[in-house]
Amino acid sequence: MKNVIVLLAIVLLASCKQDKIGYVDNVRLMDEYQQKIDVEAKFKVRADALAKTRDSISQAFQMEAQSFQTKAQSLSQSKAQEEYAAMQQRGQAIGQQLQQQDQQLQLEGQTEMDSIVSSVKKEIKSYGKANGYSYILGGGDGGSVLYGTDANDLTNEVVKLLNDQYKK
Dihedral sign computed on CA atoms, order 127, 163, 26, 112: negative
Task: Sort 54 into a burial class: Cβ within 10 Å, 0-12 / 13-18 / 19+.
Answer: middle
What pLDDT, on a 0 to 100 scale, did the predictor assign at position 71?
82
Q: Give residue 46's pLDDT.
A: 95
Local confidence pLDDT in tens for the 168 residues of the chain: 555 464 444 554 455 567 899 999 999 999 999 999 999 999 999 999 999 999 999 898 888 888 888 888 888 888 888 888 888 898 899 889 999 999 999 999 999 999 999 999 999 999 999 999 999 999 888 778 878 888 898 999 999 999 999 998
pLDDT at 34: 96
Structural domain boundaries in the chain? 18-167
- Angle of helix 155-167 versus helix 77-130 axis, rounded to 10: 110
